[in-house]
Structure 1
Amino acid sequence: MDENYEHFSHLIKETLEKSSNLLHGGKTTIYLFPFNPDQYTIISQMSGVTAFATSNQIIVLQIAPQKYKEEMLKYTVAHEYHHIVYFEDKKDKQRDLFDYILSEGKADSFATLINPEINVPWTDELSPDVELTIWDWAKDKRYSFNNNDLAEMNAGNGVIPKWSDYKIGYQIMQDFLQKNPDIPIKEWTFMDSDEILKRSRFSPNS
């Protein structure tokens, strides 16, 4: 990790600069750690990069130096940066399942603007049947979800596929942005879930 630190630092700073030019946020602190090499499956699935953001403007990055892809690192930093900005306003305001789902869809939509050349598996277009299955599952639990439901949306179960939270969130946001191309990034970042759903084909009553 040490011999790659300067290169990692350059990529991270470059991505943060691009991200802040599109969506201004406060100071962001990043902690960088190496992957445990025994986590082979996760390393492979995530192209050698994982991260999470906290509500106090911290991003924790894990990188597998021999396995990571530069574009995935930049995509991940942009995704988590968007969460940081979102949390500045919304950290105490997530009230239902679609708030969580759309926070991921917004972050992926933003990361795609920063890094349009990379394709991540959870942003692939869904078939109509799979999309409807995830939509119905999430809509049914919108106001009664718990941590187990969040875990199932991410890991998948016998009904919905892995990364369903990211997949349906991205599809909703992409439909919204196609129908509302003139809305600024900052505005849709903080827009309420109901408003986004109403202005897309994903009506809350459908």
Structure 2
Amino acid sequence: MPVIQTQNWLYQFVELCEKQSGKGASLIQREVISDPIMKLFPHINSQACQYELLRHGLFDPNEWLTLKDKVKEMETQNVWQVVKEEYKMLRRLWDGPKVPIYIFPIKKVSSKFGEQIPNKNGVAYRKALFLFLSTELAREEIKALLAHEYNHVCRLSYLDLSPEKISLKDSLIIEGLGEYAVKDLYGEKWLGPWSNLYSLRDAIELWKEHFIPSLDVKGVKNHHHFLFGKDRSPLPKWIGYYIGYQIVNTFQKNRGPFRHNELYSKSSKEIIAGSDFPINK
């Protein structure tokens, strides 16, 4: 079944934690949540798999006391059914691959200095898709997140490259296509908050100075500062996501309209060449 019934895993996790009064909650999470997923990632161990999931938003093991109520509320909201139905529609629309989808509550994060607390996140691999959700999401937000992440799965399948061989230009287009899919299907209301952070003019200047010389840099791990900016990077926050989206958006305006999976099977080079972000300075 494409949408895995992870609520059963979550109830099992809580039950085992209750029996042990929460002792060893991290180990229990690894055994109940990470171990069944290990078959998808044969080159890493269970602990590394758990770390990867936690890094992207999986609930903290110590949240077991409140987890049952969250899962029940997600069931009341028909989260698993909503994802199942939307996935079927997206797969038909894009002629996409079949992948398992894992849904978990997102970790509770305390706000610092008025920062916005994330209430959803997702991560896509060629062989699996993960959604980390709060109980406060509108149905459309869940659909938009799924579309963004499943579009990544489709694009990764089209590229057929290992993470180490994906170039920066490919990473930008992967993110741009994912967010354009949200706009195309659900409207601008559900775009990420970074979609209007900058002016096109400022973004193009940053593109010329920082991105063009590095478009062929390979390895997804080497693209993070281009995508996310800030920290020790001279680039502003989320600039790569903004640029990726605007490349796809302006390509569609300049060369489109393209329908559904027609757009998602264009090469990164072609999309960039037809956008407002020229390769030549």
Decide whether the 8 Å contact of 1:35 with 1:63 is kept in 2: yes
**Matched AA of 1:112:** K
Q: Spell out the pairing of 1:129-144 with structure 2 (5 A cutoff).
A: 129-136=201-208, 137-144=210-217
Corresponding position of 1:36:
107
Residues 143-194 of structure 1, C-alpha deviation per residue, up to 9 Å, x if partnerless? 2366564221233135322222211000011100011223333232121111
Residues 91-114 of structure 1, C-alpha deviation per residue, up to 9 Å, x if partnerless? 317542111101110111112222
Corresponding position of 2:146:
77
Question: Relative contact order: is structure 1 or structure 2 higher (C-alpha 8 Å, sep ≥ 6)?
Answer: 1
Q: Does 1:118 align with 2:187?
A: no
1:75, distance to aligned residue in structure 2 (A): 0.8
Corresponding position of 1:164:
239
1:131 and 1:184, CA in 2 relative to 1: closer, same or farther beyond 3 A?
same
1:45 and 1:172, CA in 2 relative to 1: closer, same or farther beyond 3 A?
farther
| Cα distance in 2, alignment partners of residues 133 and 30 from structure 1 | 39
Q: Does 1:12 align with 2:87?
A: no
Corresponding position of 1:60:
130
TM-score (norm 2): 0.64
Q: Does 1:185 align with 2:263?
A: no
Show structure 2 runs of 5+ residues with no match. 1-69
Report the count of equivalent residues.
Answer: 202
CA RMSD, Structure 1 to Structure 2 (Å): 2.4
**Matched AA of 1:150:** H
**Matched AA of 2:269:** D
Q: Which moved more, 1:14-23 or 1:174-183?
A: 14-23
Corresponding position of 2:159:
90
1:150 and 1:45, CA in 2 relative to 1: closer, same or farther beyond 3 A?
farther
| Cα distance in 2, alignment partners of residues 147 and 92 from structure 1 | 11
Q: Which moved more, 1:160-169 or 1:147-156?
A: 147-156
Residues 48-80 of structure 1, C-alpha deviation per residue, up to 9 Å, x if partnerless? 110101111x11111122x33432211110011
Q: Which moved more, 1:23-32 or 1:91-100?
A: 91-100
SS of residue matched to 2:223: helix
| Cα distance in 1, alignment partners of residues 235 and 205 from structure 2 | 7
Superposed structure 1 runs of 4+ greater than 4 Å apart: 145-149
**Matched AA of 1:134:** L
Q: Which moved more, 1:5-14 or 1:189-198?
A: 5-14
1:120 and 1:144, CA in 2 relative to 1: closer, same or farther beyond 3 A?
closer
1:141, distance to aligned residue in structure 2 (A): 1.4
1:87 and 1:128, CA in 2 relative to 1: closer, same or farther beyond 3 A?
closer
TM-score (norm 1): 0.85
Show structure 1 runs of 5+ residues with no match. none
Q: Name whichever structure is richer in helix by fraction.
A: 2
Q: Which moved more, 1:145-154 or 1:80-89?
A: 145-154
Corresponding position of 1:196:
271
Select the structure of larger CA radius of gyration.
2
